Amino acid sequence: MDKSFVDRLRRAVGRGNVLTDPASLLVYSYDAATDKALPGAVVKPHDTNEVAAVVRLAAEAGVPFVARGAGTNLCGGSIPADGGLVIHLSGLNRILRIDPIGRRALVEAGVVNLHLQNALAPHGLFYAPDPASQKACTLGGNAATNAGGPHCLKYGVTSHHVLGLELVLPDGRVVNTSVADGGYDLTGLFIGSEGTLGIITRMEVRLLPLPEAVQTLLASFPSLEDAVRAVTAIVSAGIVPSTLEVMDGVTLRAVEAFVHAGYPVEAGAVLLVELDGPAARIAEDSARVREFVRRNRGGDVREARDEGERQKLWEGRRGSYPAMARLAPNVLVEDGVVPRTRLPEAVRRIRAVADRENLRMGLIAHAGDGNLHPNIVFDERDRAQTERVRAAGHEMMRVCVELGGSISGEHGIGLDKREAMRRLFTPETLEVFRALKDAFDPRRLCNPDKIVPPPAAAGEEKSEAPSPVDLPDNGVLSAESVPRVRSLLASACAAGRKVVLCGSGRSAGPTDGDVLALRLDGLTGVVEHDRDNFTLTVRAGMPLKDVRAYLTPFGQYLHLSGEGTLGGVLSSCPAGKESVRDQIIGLKAVLADGRLVSFGGKVIKNVAGYDAAKLFIGAWGTLGAVVEVTLRLFPSPALEKIPSAPAEDFSWMASPLHRRVKQAFDPAGVLLPPPGRGATK
């Protein structure tokens, strides 16, 4: 690395906070995955101003850089570009404010997850996301990967608990976002972006009160398949434990030899169940859980007698990775996710891959949400074995995709799974991801070459171009099918026409001048209702009241308010409407040029790619026509009345960050907000 650049770094953060010696550089050349690359320097800033100064220097010099926390990520996400700069954020480690009344905290990105939990306990509060690496991982890294953990079945992943961010953009500018902001959900976009769009330096997080009571159960089973069938029965019955964790026999025997947690080593698998909440409800749910264990060939159910025994059981579960690491020099931890009811099939097919390649593997799963972790032990010094392990890991992720799932539930994509993104997303969707990256980081210096694969060679198969149609001079158009939406928008874009999208509300009337109004309320009907997995896919023109009426006989509910079509409710809802943003798990949209794109999927945990689905919430139809939505359902109605959305003033449309998002989706500016709702240029 250029000496003059290193000297400028030392002047910015202090000589002792810039590392260039070979031993230090080697330490920062890898994370918990298998990729490696030697950085040219490591810099250790201590506040946001120093981070911004370092990023500005890197941008001026054209040096690629990557932010790094504890390096516990398992996908190569913090691997530096060869010869690039590592910005180590461990010095940003202050808990700046805890607000027990408002139940929120302001923290720096380098705060260790467990340190925050310990600080909250005296206030009777906790922060829900709790990855297995909780003792070491940092909150900034958790946000960058949208980390989950055992308790996210009930409480959700990181994006459900972050209220706002302070960020350093790739040009060194410092910006702030909030879920309460109008317009595109920038907070949701940056969470899970793996530091490719900017560097998180501070976070405001939501806190929860510690539950009244907690009960932890450990059940043994003859096989992992039996254990996951019990999980499906429990959740399908409307019971929502805080955790449903399974471990196979290989893992539990390795854990018991390491932790001595009291696991039954003769079992084929164990299920760790934790129930929390009111004591009376726990007693009722506990009896039902025990019955479902019995019906699915479960053996003894052991209850933790006190907090010490409970912590020992959890020490075993959290120690599964280091326990497997004792068996060989290296462990590849994969991270697929499938609809919960497909877990038995996923387990069989993943085991078959390992057996065929003669690989030693343990399996654990956040079974309540279908998140599987095959742990393959190997020796990377054996190159042939290492290649077999890598290939097997990718084949296991292909199994998850074929079963309707995703290649990552919580670890991220990074470098390791970048090429596998082609199996999950269409070329058109990957183009949008690249456009988002270029909008925020046009020079591609900020954690480059992660998440999104480069454009494929010429001839990559794309969807057939929509058929052109004749357009009137003005007036209202309607569409009853996705191909019709594609044709109308593509024709308008080619003709340089402007379009306003509308559902069944007041904005569906004629527009001024030569602006066309496109009604989408003809796109109605249920596409798929997966009752056992609590997901519903519907066309966006379906009235929300009809969606509610459809679900009620099944005893399942949406926690959404509003009238009109589902797409209209989402489009007109501010991005900060948490009750909306946390229920959208998948979305299909037609962009202004007629391309059909798809974000998210049909699983609750999914961190593959940018969370672009959230950008459409509160977008007022300015990014694309939402044509299909996949929603997470609940076994009971909302406990509290969901407040109506505040009035929208549309000042956000002038924001430079919002303009970047708009450029990525609609560079020609075809799609306008409804008349009187904002700028039309």
- 639-679 tens-digit pLDDT: 766 555 555 677 888 899 999 999 999 999 999 998 765 54
Report the pLDDT value the prediction gives residue 677, as an integer from 0 to 100: 56
Contact predicate 613/628, CB 8 Å? no
677 touches 650 (CB < 8 A)? yes
Global confidence as pTM:
0.95
Encoding tokens for residue 395? 């084949």
Mean pLDDT for 96-121 is 98
- H or E segment to which residue 139 belongs: helix 139-145
All structural domains of the chain: 3-88 (3.30.43.10), 95-209 (3.30.465.10), 213-402 (3.40.462.40), 462-681 (3.30.465.10)
3-state secondary structure (DSSP) of residue 99:
strand
Within 10 A of 518 (CB to CB), how many other CB atoms are there? 22
Closest CA to 570 of 534, 602, 539: 539
Give the pLDDT confidence score for residue 403 in this predicted structure: 97
Q: How far, in Å, are 214, 509, 511, 669 from residue 500 at the CA level?
A: 51, 10, 8, 11
CA-to-CA dists, residue 184 to 36, 113, 189, 599, 668, angstroms? 36, 28, 9, 15, 18
In the DSSP assignment, the letter for residue 112 is B
Q: Characterize 26-37 residue by residue with b for buried, 16 or more Cβ atoms within 10 angstroms of its Cβ, and e for exposed.
A: eebbbbbbbeeb
3-state secondary structure of 495: coil
Closest CA to 410 of 147, 189, 139: 147
pLDDT in tens, 206-261: 999 999 999 999 999 999 999 999 999 999 898 999 999 999 999 999 999 999 99
- Angle 307-318/249-259 helices, nearest 10 degrees? 120
Question: 156-179 pLDDT, tens per residue?
Answer: 999 999 999 999 999 999 999 999
380 contacts 404 by C-beta, under 8 angstroms: no
244: three-class secondary structure by DSSP: strand
Nearest CA to 609 out of 201, 155, 149, 191 is that of 191
Separation of alpha carbons 93 and 136, rounded Å: 12
Does position 43 have pLDDT exceeding 50, yes or no? yes
User: Which residue matches tokens 């003792």?
Assistant: 135
d(CA 466, CA 483): 7
Strand partners, 209: 125
Which whole number is the average pLDDT over 433-459?
A: 92
108, 391, 625 from 597: Cα distances, Å? 35, 28, 10
- Locate the DSSP E strands across 192-235: 199-206, 208-209, 213-221
Question: Mean per-residue pLDDT for 549-563?
Answer: 91
From 43-57, 196-210, 498-512, the region with the lowest mean pLDDT: 498-512
